[in-house]
């Protein structure tokens, strides 16, 4: 899978399996070895969907590699990390995100996270505030927010039918055309921003053995929850970026969530003409916003 220049692949073993991550240990970023241990850490967590992986942030995190220690994992069941042949639950990710941070970070860190993973990271930060310095989140939503039940949607119900679910994944998700269609029609605001490297990276992840288990758990709604029930408990300083044209949860949901906890959520940045993943669609803008938010949250 795509790996930026100057980054190495490493791994840790969590209670549920091996998690692969990418970090800037190459000589390209470390001319002064005496400062390596003094660098602050930025952790980038990708969202969920057919073919998701750390690639989602790969156009953003190298911009911080000369100043920060970067950690960007493939979460359990995605990318190059271990793929379990089982239905995944929310607790699987709350547990492994917590354990991953405990094993890779020795001090509170800033976590940059996306979509449903960002919502889960909020819950981890509530339970373990000592692990976090700040949060910068793109479209953090539990996908069943304010009483909405995603699992009752037509697509979730369809993905819950045995045999049909595997057929749906193999023909509609884990193909070049299936991924490109989803990116162009559902994930991005502007289809012309999707290029072949993005499709190839998603496809390679989607075709890993047992990759369908995580994707179908997500599509069925097994990983969704109502973030509005938790977000008021957050104490970690947080900034939120929300694409205006996110088709799954619009910016009005984001604003409602942010308004529940203005003490912790210090910035809510609405982005016009952007979909679910500004980090892929407009990476330069996303880099600029992260740079702006880091000192504000400190």
pLDDT tens, residue by residue, 210-221: 999 999 999 888
Residue 79 is encoded by which pair of tokens? Answer: 């990318």
Mean pLDDT check: name the lowest of 94-103, 154-163, 193-202: 154-163
As a whole number, the mean pLDDT across the chain is 92
Exposure class string for 99-113: b at 16+ Cβ within 10 A, else e: bbbeebbeebbbbbb
- pLDDT of 165: 73
Give me the mean pLDDT over the 25-30 stretch. Answer: 78
Classify strands 17-23 and 41-45 as parallel, antiparallel or unpaired. Answer: unpaired
End-to-end CA distance of the chain: 34
* Domains along the sequence of the chain with CATH: 8-297 (3.40.50.1820)
Give me the mean pLDDT over the 97-119 stretch. Answer: 97
Please return the burial class of 205, using the count of CB atoms within 10 Å of its CB with bins 0-12, 13-18 and 19+: buried
pLDDT of 158 above 70: no
> With contact defined as beta carbons under 8 Å apart, do 265 and 234 qualify?
yes
Classify strands 8-14 and 17-23 as parallel, antiparallel or unpaired. Answer: antiparallel
- pLDDT of 34: 47
- pLDDT of 111: 98
Give me the mean pLDDT over the 147-176 stretch. Answer: 76
> With contact defined as beta carbons under 8 Å apart, do 123 and 35 qualify?
no
pTM score over 0.75: yes
Nearest Cα to Cα of residue 39 among 7, 61, 15, 70: 70
> With contact defined as beta carbons under 8 Å apart, do 69 and 40 qualify?
yes
Residue indicated by tokens 């949901």: 253
Give me the mean pLDDT over the 109-130 stretch. Answer: 98
- pLDDT of 228: 97
pLDDT of 266 above 50: yes
Give me the mean pLDDT over the 23-44 stretch. Answer: 77
Mean pLDDT check: name the lowest of 79-83, 219-223, 225-229: 219-223
């Amino acid at each position: 899978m795509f790996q930026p220049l100057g980054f190495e692949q490493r791994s840790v073993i969590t209670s549920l399996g091996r998690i692969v991550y990418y970090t800037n240990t190459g000589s390209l970023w470390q001319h002064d070895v005496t400062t390596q241990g003094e660098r602050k850490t930025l952790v980038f967590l990708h969202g969920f969907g057919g073919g998701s992986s750390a690639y989602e942030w790969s156009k953003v995190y190298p911009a911080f590699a000369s100043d920060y220690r970067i950690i960007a994992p493939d979460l359990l069941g995605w990318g190059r990390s271990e793929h379990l042949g089982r239905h995944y639950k929310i607790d699987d990710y709350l547990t492994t995100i917590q354990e991953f941070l405990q094993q890779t970070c020795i001090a509170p860190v800033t976590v940059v996270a996306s979509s449903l993973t960002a919502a889960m990271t909020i819950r981890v930060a509530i339970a373990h505030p000592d692990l976090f310095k700040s949060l910068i989140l793109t479209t953090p939503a539990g996908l069943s927010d304010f009483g909405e039940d995603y699992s009752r949607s037509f697509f979730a119900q369809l993905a819950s039918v045995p045999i049909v679910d595997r057929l749906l994944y193999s023909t509609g998700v884990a193909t070049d055309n299936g991924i490109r269609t989803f990116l162009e029609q559902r994930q991005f605001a502007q289809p012309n921003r999707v290029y072949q490297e993005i499709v190839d990276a998603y496809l390679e992840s989607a075709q890993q053995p047992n990759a369908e288990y995580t994707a179908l758990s997500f599509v069925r709604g097994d990983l969704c929850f109502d973030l509005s029930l938790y977000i008021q408990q957050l104490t970690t300083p947080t900034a939120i970026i929300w694409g205006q044209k996110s088709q799954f949860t619009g910016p009005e949901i984001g604003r409602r969530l942010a308004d529940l906890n203005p003490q912790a959520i210090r910035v809510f940045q609405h982005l016009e003409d952007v979909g679910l993943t500004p980090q892929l669609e407009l990476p330069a803008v996303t880099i600029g916003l992260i740079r702006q938010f880091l000192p504000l949250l400190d």
